Structure 1
Amino acid sequence: MSRLRSDPGSNPHENEFVSGYPARICDHVPGNKYLCCNCNNVLKKAQQTLCGHRYCSPCLSWIVRNHKTPICPKCEEDPGSLTEDSYLTEDKAFSDTAINKEISELKVHCVTSGCQWSGVLGEYEKHNCEKTLSKDPNSRKSNIPTKSKNNQPDTMDCRFAPLGCIYRGSRDQIRDHEGLAAASHVSLVLPVLLQIQSARPAAAVKENGFCDYNGDGHKLPASIRNGESVDEEMATDCGSHNGGVTGPHLISRICALESRIQVAENIIMVMNREIDSSNVKRATALEESNEERGRVRACETKIADLRCTIAKKDMEINRLQVHLASLEQTSYDGIFLWKISDLTRKCQDAREGRTISLYSPAFYTAKYGYKVRLRVYLNGDGAGKGTHISLFFTVMRGEYDVLLPWPFKHKVTFMLLDQSNREHVIDAFRPDTTSISFQKPAADMNIASGCPLFCPLSKLHAIRNNYVVDETMFIRCIIDAN
């Protein structure tokens, strides 16, 4: 099996951590967002999947390459979160530029024994660590460490070099490297596993060509049972290093890995069935949810109709209440007492033009008589504007107008009551029978007629007078019905 080699002067850290960087190289404990969801190391060439999790680029490649149905391990921890995006493919993942930039700025230090280098992670693989460099360019010709002239150990290859690992270092460094790069070494073993697996059908046809290996149920070629290697070059390379793994032992480990892969495939099969069952339940739940939403929309429509009906009824109730209040104040004997409260505010509204006049409730000269009302200008009107209260009398269209004599001829008397009963303000007039104001109404009410100079404002608000008490004044109208 061919393998890659670097020049003697190449960077010794280039393949030190094939997958992620161990957290121990960081000066401070890195946050979870910087850790790979597979190897749990600091991300190296971070890739983000559609399900939102991050992996080292080598880890993601290993997961996709070694699983028939690669599922995000992080999503598998919570089966309820599994979606279509949990199935991993390299073409659907993208380089997470932002997180790679943050990781490159993490404060780190060299993990090589005796090296004092520190800096940011982006510079880690570029630093020249003298503790790991070989001073003898010919030392790569042998994998067995020897003593140089200065009594320092030469470098040697990683024991997984026959499978493609390019790391070199001293014996101690090799031991540390193999502990840190276990995940990457497994990815190098995988092609050998696949080669052996593909060779099984051909070997199976040979009579008595299989035997149980170590009693674990795995059938292996008889040549392996006798200590022979399926791939002689691989077995030779694997056993050529000091303390290396021999061919049969490697096959044993591969069989164990195959067993684990089969267990993982069985788990994935069970999970797929669970996912299918969950999808059915989800579809049923969605259908029920849609039905519930339909019922809710129907109820909302009914509620809207009821609110509209209630609003109409409220308007009718308000109209009836106004009418009832008007009836309670209605007089049928030609004598009407008008109570005007909150006088200060109403006078202010009149001065500022917001409400220049007020109408009294309607009243009658008799039970079936004329319908009339009063109109007052609290800041005056016409000749009395700004100086007097102006008070007018208005004939309205009534229910019995066809039975009444026209024009209206009855004497009208106005009174502003002194609430101490000392001096009332009194004014009276007789209708001008030629005026349109006293003819039979053609509209809701005729033009008002009365007294524009009814009461001076100075007199109304004089302290000695009691025309206004507690913001209230009273106006009485008397119609002589005889």
Structure 2
Amino acid sequence: MSGNAVTKSPLVQLKILDERLQCIQCHFLLNGPLQLQCGHRLCTPCAVKLKQQSSQTLFCDKCQKYVESSKTFHDKAIAKEIECSVITCPQCGWTGEYRNYQKHLKEGCQLIKVSCPNEGCGEEIIKSQLDEHLQQCYRRQLCQLCKKESCTCRDQHKMDLHLGTQKRNSFGKKQTLMKDCEFHFLKCCFRGNDVELERHMEESQKDHLLMVRNYLSCKSPQKLNGVTSIGDNGLKLLLYTKLDKINEKLGRNENKENGLQIAELQGQQKDITFRLTGVEDLLATLQASINEINRTYEEVSLTLQTLQATSYDGHNIWKIPDITRRRRDALLGKTVSLYSAPFYTSRFGYRLCLRVYLYGDGSGKGRYISYFLTIMKGEYDALLEWPFQHMVTMTLVNQKGNNNIVQSFRPNPTSTSFHCPKSDMNVASGCPKFAPISILDNPEFVVDDVAFFKCDISVNKS
């Protein structure tokens, strides 16, 4: 579509229901609202028309009386409200705020009328039909030779320069001057006007080059068309000059083609680099997602392993590896006690864990292994009976016989260790002098540097 098309911005005549925003004269949306002395409003264009009748007064249709024109003023508050009002274009049905209406008329509305940009035409056409009109406008003139270049008839000088070889007779008719190819003396038979001849010279460079080379390589050259007797040296000089021109043109064309190819390759390289950057970003995102999935999998696996190893029948066998190292850590005070994994008396029962001091604790410190039971805070404590009163049997397992070390006790109901936990776990309670420390040197109780501690909770209180 022509960028020179003139869009006529029509007088803003938009229907609107709100009477406050209506002109009292034309009853359309206020265009440059003015407030009269009586409080009513009218458009600036309507006020100009009324002032033509009387410059001193304006007639208010609402009040049916005259008011002083000097006391009118621009109503900025209403103008701002109008700017934000939602309106509908009467031409195409576009809906939007009034502040964008003029921009819509200029750039977006295809049903508004515009003027033909061709000088001398001036016909008003619907914008969507402007392209079709410009193709048929009588002010447009196409070149009769190449059918490509065009200009308006008012720019006849431009057309004359384009035609080049055309001459006008006294009646204004055009006659075309035809010319022979520059290589007609080498039997090139092409003939045409300047435009056709220029195109022929560009397209037939290789053919002309071949004609020149064939002639120069010929031992018995034939007489040339249209060439007078200028001597062999003069003829060869003429041909070599033509040859140099052709080679020069071919070189320019090759450089141009190479430049285009290089530009195209560079464009492809940039496109590939951009795509690779996008792929690298995607791979980085996927790798981050995979790492997150792996972490989640490891957490779920650990939780599953813990659940699989958890006992729910009040019996727990605790495997403690690296006994030698752990005894040394206890002696040095690095890790004085160890905790087992939690276990339960039933699926919804008490939550418990075991605690052992390999170098003793309290009254057994330094001489005995101290072995305790710890009541932990559980999910179902509110449904259980307190204090905890079940019989507890604690065992160090003899791995090569039946001579286990066993101690049993019944919880003291007055001890807070067996009351309902108020923190994560109660104070451990059990056997501070469970077994001599030296028992861990016995190969029947420690095999492959591993010891097994066992605890059994009697579910029945008796």
TM-score by length of 1: 0.41
Write 1 or 2 for the structure with the bigger share of strand.
Answer: 2
TM-score by length of 2: 0.43
Structure with bigger RCO (C-alpha 8 Å, 6+ apart): 1
